[in-house]
């Protein structure tokens, strides 16, 4: 199943710089691992915001929740999920 995801990140302004650097490094590694595994086929930054729009590919809602909640930044995110379905006018690949 494909899901359209919007993630808005809200890190505390007083977060220790070393903790911030570690958190961001772990986030990058985890997200790239999901991309290499085909679970995160599309990832776009929203210009001017600390946010992204993504498409994730999960077998079901439970797997999606596991993937998202595994993100190191998850505790600092507002996440909006929209399940996607094939459009009847889409030309098949």
Interval 24-74: pLDDT, tens: 999 999 999 999 999 999 999 999 999 999 999 999 999 999 999 999 999
CATH of the domain at 49: 3.30.70.1060
Q: Is residue 89 part of a domain?
A: no
Count of domains observed in the chain: 1
Local confidence band at 85 (pLDDT 50, 70, 90 cut-offs): very high
- Checking if the pLDDT of 6 tops 80, the result is yes
Does this model's pTM top 0.95? no
Task: Give the pLDDT of residue 25.
Answer: 98
- Show the 3-state SS of the chain: CEEEEEEEECCCCCCCHHHHHHHHHHHHHHHHHHHHCCCCCEEEECCCCCEEEEEEECCCHHHHHHHHHCCCCHHHEEEEEEECCCCCCCCCC
Task: Give the pLDDT of residue 68.
Answer: 98
Q: Is residue 90 part of a domain?
A: no
């Amino acid at each position: 199943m494909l899901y359209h995801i919007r993630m808005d990140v809200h890190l505390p302004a007083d977060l220790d710089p070393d903790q911030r650097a570690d958190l961001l490094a772990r986030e990058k590694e985890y997200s790239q691992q999901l991309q290499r595994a085909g679970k995160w086929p599309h990832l776009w930054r929203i210009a001017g915001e600390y946010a992204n729009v993504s498409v994730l590919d999960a077998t079901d809602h439970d797997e999606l929740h596991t993937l998202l909640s595994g993100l190191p930044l998850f505790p600092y995110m507002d996440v909006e999920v929209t399940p996607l379905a094939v459009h009847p006018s889409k030309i098949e690949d």
